[in-house]
Amino acid sequence: MQILMCNPQHYGVYYSINPWMCLENATDSNLAMSQWLGLAQIISSVGGNIIEMSGEPGLPDIVFTANAGTYHEGKVVLSNFAHKERQAEKPLYDKQFKKIGIETIHLPDSLRYEGAGDALWGHGPATGKTLWCGHGFRSTKESHDEVRRLFKVDTCNLKLVDPHFYHLDTCFCPLLDDHALIYCGAFDRLSYETLKWCFYLLEVPANEARQFACNAVRIDRNVIIPDGCPETRKLLEGAGYTVFECPMTEFIKSGGACKCLSLALQP
């Protein structure tokens, strides 16, 4: 599995666009690099083939490559970022995808869409391959409708209601065997009931959700989560997964963790 990651050389908290970002809570650049390298090492050890890109000064959040776009069958629908602070990332992602031979698709400028932060592929016992789409903070339902039309795939819209979980991948992670990690408090009732009907849910406690337990990377039956989430680890191991823990403290300061730092480009 190819996975796009971006070197965190220019990473830091320099503005605030979500409840996690506090300008007084400075990041440790050396520690952030160490944590990023640790995540990359685990991903590589379980079969991930990392494609590394470089960022630029003034774009600290470009490290969160999950937000670059949504991949399907050799194409990527690029993101249209909701906040002006991140909009200059788009040309760099566009250039990187083209460099590795992936066709890029641009949505209309009027649509707000934040890629695999809000659009996750998954199978449930009641569904085939579906693109699960979050809206409420960064991406709109209209953007998901357009992605469905472009990719000609099934989608299901889910409403996010807690600003601490502003992207779908912060509170939901589809797995194998019809399982999914979830923090139920991030969704409205209808969305939660939909997911409950469509998946065997592994529900993480609120304190571990705020450690970004659901912001997990799955490669085959291996799942990488932030450290400090013992109940989530127990849930995953009980469901037959091998769990790897990775310190993510510096990236949680910006509202991201393992999944946010990686974008899977399925073969």
The mean pLDDT of 236-244, rounded to a whole number, is: 98
How far apart, in whole angstroms, are the C-alpha atoms of residue 255 and residue 20? 5
Q: Reply yes or no on whether 10 is catalytic.
A: no
**Of residues 254, 246, 260, the one with CA closest to residue 41:** 246
What does the pLDDT read at residue 129? 87
Indicate the domain borders of the chain.
2-15+22-265
Q: Which listed residue (135, 167, 173, 179) is catalytic?
A: 167
What does the pLDDT read at residue 127? 66
The mean pLDDT of 90-105, rounded to a whole number, is: 98
For the stretch 74-87, pLDDT in tens is 999 999 999 999 99
Answer left, alpha or beta for residue 152, where phi above 0 means left and psi between -120 and 50 means alpha: left
Number of DSSP helices (H) and strands (E) in the chain, helices first: 7, 15
Secondary structure element (H or E) that encloses residue 18, with its range:
none
Domain covering 2-15+22-265: architecture: 5-stranded Propeller (3.75)
Secondary structure element (H or E) that encloses residue 69, with its range:
strand 69-72
Q: What is the pTM of this model?
A: 0.97
Q: Reply yes or no on whether 260 is catalytic.
A: yes
